[in-house]
A and B are shown apart, each in its own frame.
Chain A
Amino acid sequence: MRGSVLTAGLLLLGLTAACAQGTGDEETPDASFDSEAQLTGTLDAMGFGETDEVATARLEEAKKALGDVEVKLIEGELDVQQFLSSVAAGDPPAILYAERDQVGTFASRGAIVPLDECIDGEGIDTDVFDDAALEQVTFEDEVYGIPEFSVVQLTMANRDLLDQAGLAIEDVNGSSWESITEANEELARQDGKKVSVIGYDSKLPEFLPLWAKANGADLISEDGRTAQLDDPAVVEALEWAVDIYDAQGGFGSVKAFRDQADFFGDGNQFATGTLGAMPMEQWYVNVLNEVSPDAPLAFDTVRDRSGETIAWTSGSAWAIPKGSPNPEAACRFAKVMTQTSSWEAAADARLAERKGGESIFTGILTGNDEADEAVRAKVEPSGDEVWDSAVEAMYEASENTFALPANPAGAEFEAAWQDAVNRVLNGQEEPEQALQKAQEEAQKVLDEAWARWDE
């Protein structure tokens, strides 16, 4: 296996390179987008799976709108290598479903095309999309993706543990870092050298952008060209978030303890009373509601240091690859999958599914503000104050989002700051030193990537 990985990698490298030559300059065929046009042919969609009723309901809407077009799904998580190879070989899928933070990289390499003509021709109303979501798929003032879904963070806490320590959800929602530090000490428990209750989990390394924003800093400039990792506010955020772990015996102990938790089962950290509080993405509300509906929970948004709600959003997007064999159908597919009426159909499907079971319908964050409102109107109060507060917090968070802007070195930039946080967590470097080094690495990859784009 080990040997074959390298051999396979080399082989793939060779073959894709061979395929790339001679096809790399192939132009996208001229497409004419018209919302009234009758479409035909096949539509291969890469990276999207019909995994639940929300996907199925919208897919049905899209198939209806596409008429004679046969829709084929290339299911499974997007394999970047497979996608890029297919573009290089001149045989790309008609449409691509990717993470929004991949769009800048694909756009900068010419793997996907700008959607301005598609948007105009099909009459896609981009004003309805969440600003932060649209910003993530806009590269050099051109829209390269039609966004869908939004992930936001909420504060989730164990109400019983808070009560026992004389604390409230406000003490751990981020509005006061000093309060979280104190609450962490109150809530954390150790059995000898072993962690038995995590007081507060600051969720490093992934949530550094959230803590930096809460402290008034962005990791990257608005135009996506300048790294700001060594900003004193980022350093301060990292120092504070790491101190949270240090106060509990160090990140290693906390991580080892959290790794053993039954995260998706009824033995999760909240149900077993082994976690005081943490910021977490909203989808986990559904998990908790399904597997441990009676767990003593409390929810709020995550707040910045002045008490305002913030959420770092991410999500998916539809994009049209260079050389797409059916760009017209791809454009209409993207339009229908993300339009308000399709989301309403999806919400109805989920509502029906939830009513059949014992779980509540907590809404869907669609990346489309108009659809969010329409779906929210379908959310009925469950009668349980806790779960209703979770839904309330989720929608409040979705109205207060920020995103890291699209840039051509998304993966390298992310690796730079995550590696820095990891070096600190592993005790190899101090926050300031690590972020200084990450700043140099990140700026170098950004400069190189932008230089290629600007050429």
Chain B
Amino acid sequence: MSEARGRLRNGDTRAAFLFLSPWLVGFLLWTAYPVVYTAYLSLTDYDVINDPTFVGTENYREMLTDDKVTLALGNTAIYAVLSVPFQLGVSLALALLLQRAGRARGLFRTAFFLPKMTPPVAIGVLVLLLLNGQSGLLNESLSWVGIDGPNWTTDPPWVKPGLALMSLWTIGAEIIILLAALENVPRELWEAARVDGASWWGRFRHVTLPMISGPLYFLALVDTIAAFQSFTEAYTAYFGAGNSTYGNDAALFYVIYVFQQAFEFLHMGYAAALAMLLFLVVLVVTAGQSALTRRYVFYYGDQR
């Protein structure tokens, strides 16, 4: 009997692996292998043309003395701190509005999602147009209320806030996810709170927020990782097609620096070491977020 069960289990395991195999092959080939190989390359001097030469920890030691690593990490962290709460806050506010939009909800939902379809390179160019210090839409709008806006695209202190502002262009997906989460909040909880005399803010704070904390946590996590990997928009606006020679240190995000070292200067070994550091940083930040938010996130299925 137990032998038959064992055979059955083996058969099940084989079937399971068979079904999983497309993903497993993809994972091993497209994720695990490049990561492991990058770790190896980070210990070499490699310029694409000639074979990698093992240099031990030299690349990592060089990173310690490279001012641009600190600058790029700092820029990226500041951008993440600015953009993630901003994106979540605005997404949630718009999702709340959409929830009350009645029959027009479908139309607005599509309208909010449409900008998400814009190619990131086009968003990079839009940064230069909308945030133009002389005639950009943002400064024009600010001037209507008597505010003399800064040169968002050249004043170093305003470059990252400008990019964080532009990150709102693609919050369509966040809005849709949060709208779905809001729709899932049981009506009876709201009704009970209302009967108990809770204000709108009280109901939002004590009913809605806990009930959508799962999706919020998920979005905070993926948005943070995306912020640390942010590249295309800032590269286009400050280092690529938008400005082939003009650049601004304030927009030097970490992945841009990795790209420059790898593909412009052909320091592939050093770039691999930089990429490994980013991998670790994202891992630590994500673990930190996970630990910090565990006590604030509510799961329906949680039996504790």
> Does B128 make an interface contact (CB < 8 A)?
yes
> Does B75 make an interface contact (CB < 8 A)?
no
User: What residues of B have a CB within 8 angstroms of the CB of A447 in the complex?
Assistant: none
Assuming A14-B34, A252-B151, A428-B249, is B156 touching A81 (CB within 8 A)? no
Q: Mark B202-220, 1 if CB is under 8 A from A, else 0.
A: 0000000000000000000
Give bound CA distance, A311 to B154, whole Å: 29
User: What residues of A have a CB within 8 angstroms of the CB of B156 in the complex?
Assistant: 426-428
User: What residues of B have a CB within 8 angstroms of the CB of A3 in the complex?
Assistant: 225-226, 229
- What is the CB-to-nearest-CB distance from A93 to chain B, in angstroms, rounded to a whole number? 15
Assuming A2-B230, A252-B155, A256-B133, is B262 touching A13 (CB within 8 A)? yes
Assuming A252-B154, A412-B265, A426-B154, is B33 touching A14 (CB within 8 A)? yes
Give bound CA distance, A428 to B52, whole Å: 38
Assuming A6-B229, A7-B31, A17-B52, is B265 touching A195 (CB within 8 A)? no
User: What residues of A have a CB within 8 angstroms of the CB of B135 in the complex?
Assistant: 256-257, 260
Asked if A111 and B49 sit within 8 Å, CB to CB, the answer is yes
Assuming A2-B231, A7-B34, A256-B151, is B49 touching A17 (CB within 8 A)? no
Asked if A206 and B229 sit within 8 Å, CB to CB, the answer is no
User: What residues of B have a CB within 8 angstroms of the CB of A445 in the complex?
Assistant: 265
Asked if B230 and A259 sit within 8 Å, CB to CB, the answer is no
Asked if A13 and B154 sit within 8 Å, CB to CB, the answer is no
Q: Which of B38, B47, B49, B134 lies in contact with A194, CB distance below 8 A?
A: B134
Q: Mark B274-297, 1 if CB is under 8 A from A, else 0.
A: 010010000000000000000000
- What is the CB-to-nearest-CB distance from A377 to chain B, in angstroms, rounded to a whole number? 35
Q: Mark B249-279, 1 if CB is under 8 A from A, else 0.
A: 1100001001110111110100110010010
Q: How many residues of A contact B (CB 8 A)?
A: 58
Of A67-75, A212-220, A417-425, the segment with at least 4 beta carbons within 8 Å of chain B is A417-425
Docked complex: A57-88 residues within 8 A CB-CB of B: 80-81, 84-85, 87-88
Of A18-26, A131-139, A222-230, A300-308, the segment with at least 4 beta carbons within 8 Å of chain B is A18-26
Asked if A5 and B231 sit within 8 Å, CB to CB, the answer is yes
Of B16-24, B189-197, B240-248, the segment with at least 4 beta carbons within 8 Å of chain A is B240-248
User: What residues of B have a CB within 8 angstroms of the CB of A2 in the complex?
Assistant: 120, 226, 229-232, 255
Asked if B275 and A259 sit within 8 Å, CB to CB, the answer is no
> Does B112 make an interface contact (CB < 8 A)?
no
User: What residues of B have a CB within 8 angstroms of the CB of A257 in the complex?
Assistant: 134-135
User: What residues of B have a CB within 8 angstroms of the CB of A20 in the complex?
Assistant: 46, 48-52
User: What residues of B have a CB within 8 angstroms of the CB of A253 in the complex?
Assistant: 133-134, 151
B: contact size bracket: 35 or more
User: What residues of A have a CB within 8 angstroms of the CB of B95 in the complex?
Assistant: none
Asked if B245 and A205 sit within 8 Å, CB to CB, the answer is yes
Q: Which of A13, A322, A409, A418 lies in contact with B268, CB distance below 8 A?
A: A13
> Does B300 make an interface contact (CB < 8 A)?
no
Q: Mark B123-158, 1 if CB is under 8 A from A, else 0.
A: 000001000111110000000000010010111100
> Does B201 make an interface contact (CB < 8 A)?
no
Nearest chain B residue, comparing its CB with the CB of A4: B229
- What is the CB-to-nearest-CB distance from A134 to chain B, in angstroms, rounded to a whole number? 25
> Does A315 make an interface contact (CB < 8 A)?
no
The A interface, classified by DSSP as helix, strand, loop or mixed, is: helix
Asked if B266 and A109 sit within 8 Å, CB to CB, the answer is yes
Nearest chain B residue, comparing its CB with the CB of A81: B263
User: What residues of A have a CB within 8 angstroms of the CB of B41 in the complex?
Assistant: 13-14, 17
> Does B35 make an interface contact (CB < 8 A)?
yes
Asked if B246 and A6 sit within 8 Å, CB to CB, the answer is no
Asked if A418 and B230 sit within 8 Å, CB to CB, the answer is no
User: What residues of A have a CB within 8 angstroms of the CB of B31 in the complex?
Assistant: 7
User: What residues of B have a CB within 8 angstroms of the CB of A419 in the complex?
Assistant: 247, 249
Asked if B247 and A418 sit within 8 Å, CB to CB, the answer is yes
User: What residues of A have a CB within 8 angstroms of the CB of B154 in the complex?
Assistant: 251-252, 255-256, 425-426
User: What residues of B have a CB within 8 angstroms of the CB of A412 in the complex?
Assistant: 265
Assuming A2-B230, A5-B231, A111-B49, is B132 touching A422 (CB within 8 A)? no
User: What residues of B have a CB within 8 angstroms of the CB of A15 in the complex?
Assistant: 34
Q: Which of A81, A110, A194, A423 lies in contact with B50, CB distance below 8 A?
A: A110
Assuming A7-B31, A13-B272, A110-B50, is B262 touching A422 (CB within 8 A)? no
> Does A10 make an interface contact (CB < 8 A)?
yes
Q: Mark A252-283, 1 if CB is under 8 A from B, else 0.
A: 11011101100000000000000000000000
User: What residues of A have a CB within 8 angstroms of the CB of B272 in the complex?
Assistant: 10, 13
Asked if A252 and B231 sit within 8 Å, CB to CB, the answer is no
Asked if A24 and B226 sit within 8 Å, CB to CB, the answer is no
Asked if A13 and B271 sit within 8 Å, CB to CB, the answer is yes
Would you mind naming 29 contact pairs between A and B with Cβ atoms under 8 Å apart?
A: A2-B232, A2-B255, A6-B229, A6-B275, A6-B278, A7-B31, A9-B263, A13-B272, A13-B275, A14-B34, A15-B34, A16-B48, A17-B37, A20-B52, A85-B48, A110-B50, A111-B49, A251-B154, A252-B155, A256-B135, A256-B136, A259-B132, A322-B49, A415-B260, A415-B264, A415-B265, A422-B247, A422-B248, A426-B154
Binding site for A on B (CB under 8 A): 30-31, 33-35, 37-38, 41, 46-52, 120, 128, 132-136, 148, 151, 153-156, 225-226, 229-232, 245-250, 255, 258-260, 262-266, 268, 271-272, 275, 278
Known: A5-B231, A25-B51, A426-B250. 9 other contacts (CB 8 A): A13-B271, A14-B33, A15-B34, A84-B266, A195-B134, A256-B153, A260-B135, A418-B247, A422-B249
Q: 9 shortest A-B CB distances, which residue pairs?
A: A252-B151, A252-B154, A14-B37, A256-B133, A14-B34, A256-B134, A24-B51, A84-B48, A10-B34
